[in-house]
Amino acid sequence: MTPPDPNQSVSLVGQILRTPEEIARVLNSLVARSEPIICDLSGGGLLFRSRLRFVDPASTYLVIDFSPDEAANRALLARSRATFHAEPGGWRVEFAAADPRAIRPREGAPGIRLRFPEIIAGHRQRESERVEARPQCELRCVADEAGLMSFDGTIANVSRGGIGFLQYDPAINLEPGTLLRGCRIDSPSGESIIVDMEVRYSQLVTLADGRRVQSSGCRFVHLSAEEAERIEALFGLKP
């Protein structure tokens, strides 16, 4: 097997990658760089920290190292699916993998094997200027109201490119590629707009008052010109 090229770059151009070839390229870059990978197992209360060791050339599985934290290892192995992120060279890379199980090969170190991810997402840290929602115009969002499980959130800010940042309960874990259907955004004036959003990435953040929340970057999908104009008006954005 040819080892991963340590000089290959991680470049997602703010996209979600879905083909096995594209996903393997990014994952092998993480292997080559020996980048730390992290999985939040309990709303920030327990973190699994490790490194990606091996990417199957046939794109069927991954192997990661055990964490030094035994409690984190047990928590990860008890899950059916987990979301990991890494932050190589100014990028945040995120992927979900299923069916973690411990392996102890006859040769080499023990590790954890997972299924190959179906998608991988990434974005540049501080990739574009964003504007904060004005305090008097904070927007409430009922996310996935037309889906399987709705939940309340707050639109904290939005970029002129149309990416909304949704803050919500830290116990909820939204994977990259999740489609939130029929999200209702309410303004203090009583106006509402209903849009579909695709989750690009998620991360835990600490607010000014000390609260921990999940914050997801979401791309508006199937947006009409009229809906785009209404969103600009709600957020006070200029074209």
- Tell me the per-residue pLDDT of 155-165, one tens digit each, with 9 for 90 and over: 877 665 566 67
Cα separation of 178 and 214, whole Å? 15
Letter for the amino acid at 168? Y
pTM > 0.95: yes or no: no
Query: Of 86-95, 123-132, 172-181, 223-232, which range is least confident?
Result: 123-132
Which of 85, 91, 74 is CA-nearest to residue 175? 85
pLDDT band for position 132 (cuts 50, 70, 90): very low
Instruction: Tell the burial category of 79 from Cβ atoms under 10 Å away from its Cβ (0-12, 13-18, 19+).
Output: middle
The answer to whether 83 and 94 have CB atoms below 8 angstroms apart is: yes
Helix (H) or strand (E) holding 30: helix 20-33
pLDDT above 90 covers what percent of the chain? 37
CB burial string 8-45: b at 16+ within 10 A, e below: eebebebebbeeeeebbbbbbbbbbbebebbbbbeeee
Cα separation of 81 and 114, whole Å? 9
